[in-house]
Amino acid sequence: MAQDKKVALITGANRGIGLETAKQLGEQGVTVVVGARTLEAAEETAAKLKAQGIEAYGIQLEVTNAADRLAAAQFIDQKFGKLDILINNAGVGAATGFTPVTSQVADEELLRVFATNYFAVVSITRELLPLIKKSPAGRIVNLSSILGSLTLHADPNSPIAHFKSIAYDSSKSALNQYTIHLAHELRDTPIKVNSAHPGWVKTDMGTDAAPMEIPDGAKTSVELALLSPDGPSGRFIHLGQELPW
């Protein structure tokens, strides 16, 4: 492999937006490491991508598992010696869907959603940051959601005003705050950190009611992964447009 070829890790990459993100990055010459909860699913995904001419590797990466996170970092270090792109794509939805009964959310639901959508992102980014710092132009993309926007949730006339799910929404708000803080920490480096809203996409989580197809849902992640040196950092983006926090 050429030393200057970019390497990307995509979590939750065996289906939906994660798989499509890996495909689109691979088509642009990026080597992709696809993470999935089981090694079987990861290797099957990598095989599909390889059949399309993409350099791909599958690794077991249950993002809430510390041993998996450490093993992922060790694999990338030994195989490539650096990581150019980290796409924190893995996420879970609310078990109860959208409900205005915020006061009734169970502790277990909050812990379950935050474990994947927030704490795991912080942990895996911390694990991989030394490798990202070895890239000449590291990029970190955190898959958020417009449902994490405090500004829009507070506006009774906004399009998301009645789509309330406190566990999911607050996990994405916390993720956005992490994006802002990490971008600030890395402001004097070439690394760029951004939150991406993929849109409402036809996935298992988004359902067939969603208006966007999966290829379009991956576009924002891909654009942020391949930002030029003068691109933004510490921003909340959907298809090139900045969203309110």
Q: Mind telling me the catalytic residues?
A: 168
DSSP string, 138-160: -EEEEE--GGG-HHHHH-TTSTT
CB distance 203 to 217 below 8 Å: yes
Backbone angles phi, psi at 236, to 5 degrees: -115, 110
**Cα-based angle 105, 110, 116 (whole degrees, multiple of 5):** 150
CA 92 centroid distance within chain = 12
Taking the alpha carbons at both ends of the chain, their separation in whole angstroms is: 40
